[in-house]
Amino acid sequence: MYQFSDFPWPPSVTDDFPTQQEVLDYLRSYATHFNLIPHINFNSRVKGMSYDGPSTDAWSLWNGTGEAFPPQGKWNLTVENTETANTKVYTVDFVILCLGRFKDVPYIPKFPAGEGPEVFQGQAIHSMKYSAMENQKAAEFVKGKKVVVVGFGKTGLDIARECAHVNGPENPCTVLPKFDMVPPHSLSQDMHSGLIMYLPNPENFFDTVKEGSIKLKKSPSFSFYEKGVLISKDNTKVEADIVIFATGFNGPKKVKDIFESPTFGQLIEGTPRVGLYRECIPPRIPQVAIIGFSEGLSSLYVSESTCRWMVGLLEGKFKLPSIIEMDKDIARWDQYMKQVSGEYYHLSSLCGAEIWYNDQICKDMGMNPMRKKGLFSNLFQPYGNSDYAE
């Protein structure tokens, strides 16, 4: 599923779980093959963007017209060169934000005064800092140390495995999941919220637990003491030299912060689930699209469809419905997500609904959503990115 529709993986990669390097090589070769590199300004950070155009309050249609490019309105982007610290302002007609949700703005749980990392004599860091280290540096950082990893998501599992590899059963890494291997919510909620993707690769992970290199300690809540962490449930203490928060990122805040206007920012962060029409268009922010915020079982599967749809909109192949209609569509989707994902509905996951989503995209673009030949194939054969290739 993690494959561009027009760019197969090389035959040399046969494993179901390609390595980090293989994924990087695949993405690099895609960019080289389609000559994308010359179009990218590396070392550029957008510090903020401001809208210069008519007031958006009275519009019943997005941008006033339902089209990508209205007669008036520009965005000014202040861009910093991260090597020279020089800034430059770019004026553009349309902005597509692909900021990613799993980077840059760490989420760290809050602790009452005197119970947080400030009382801990070891080092408490967010996974972002650990991930930024070169492999060798990261290995040296944890070598021979008592490491506690907070969180049982993708990042937590990856870090725990790396620590286990360096330190072995003599110096096990303790992982603090919120719940047992059998979580309190249903498998269906796990599936729809995307939490199912956090399931460890059983082959390696459980072997490492069995050999004692990783210890799992259920901890719905915990606090710090001088020498480690204190698990509230049973008052047990886990000694640590290093505590790594693999507690995720605050994606909505990252998107919100890029808007200089607090009003636009509030439209992004003001609801528990970021409201995007077709998981892409903020109905009340003009000339802006956000891609990559909603994830599916494979992010490429969803992002590629959204990109194709976006190009159709930019080319004027279709118009958007009224803002009220878009709001209604978002509310319907919210309702559905609440039903199927429960308390995790805010995660902007499309897991399990990718085909439904792609159906909408195809209909908007005037394409037949039944992409395979024959009813039997459409009903029973799995759909992948290549089915949507034009």
Q: Choose which of 174, 193, 287, 299 interacts with ligand FAD (CB under 6 A).
A: 299
The site string for ligand FAD over 119-158 (x = CB under 6 A, - otherwise) reads: -----------------------------------xx--x
How many residues sit in the footprint of ligand FAD (CB under 6 A)? 17
Q: Give the x-and-dash track for 66-85 against ligand FAD (CB under 6 A).
A: --------------------
The half-sphere exposure of 351 on its side-chain side, counting CA atoms within 13 A, is 23
Binding mask 79-118 for ligand FAD (x = CB under 6 A): -------------------xxx-xxx--------------
Q: How far is the CB of 317 from ligand FAD (least distance, A)?
A: 24
Which of 292, 304, 305, 350 touches ligand FAD by CB under 6 A?
292
**Closest distance between ligand FAD and the C-beta of residue 79, in Å?**
8
Residue 78, strand partner residues: 48, 89
Residue (100 or 342) nearer to ligand FAD, CB = 100
The amino acid that residue 225 corresponds to is Y
Q: Output DSSP code: residue 108.
A: -
Of 224 and 278, which has the nearer Cβ to ligand FAD?
A: 278
Contact residues for 26 (Cβ-Cβ < 8 A; gap 6+) = 9, 10, 13, 18
Q: Find the shortest distance in angstroms from Cβ 91 to ligand FAD.
A: 17
| Between 102 and 111, CB nearer to ligand FAD | 102
C-alpha distances (whole Å) from 188 to each of 185, 194, 336, 345 are 8, 10, 13, 12
Q: Which is nearer to ligand FAD, 167 or 306 (CB)?
A: 306
Query: Following DSSP, what letter does each residue of 120-179 receive, concatenated?
Result: -SSEEEEHHHHHTS-HHHHHHHHTT--EEEE--SHHHHHHHHHHHHHHTTTSPEEEE-SS
Residues forming beta bridges with residue 76, ordered by sequence position: 50, 91
Residues 355 and 384: beta-carbon distance below 8 Å: no
Give one word for 274, left, alpha or beta, with left for phi > 0 and alpha for psi -120 to 50.
Answer: beta
Task: Write out the residues near ligand FAD by the rule CB under 6 A.
Answer: 2, 45-46, 98-100, 102-104, 154-155, 158, 258, 292, 298-300
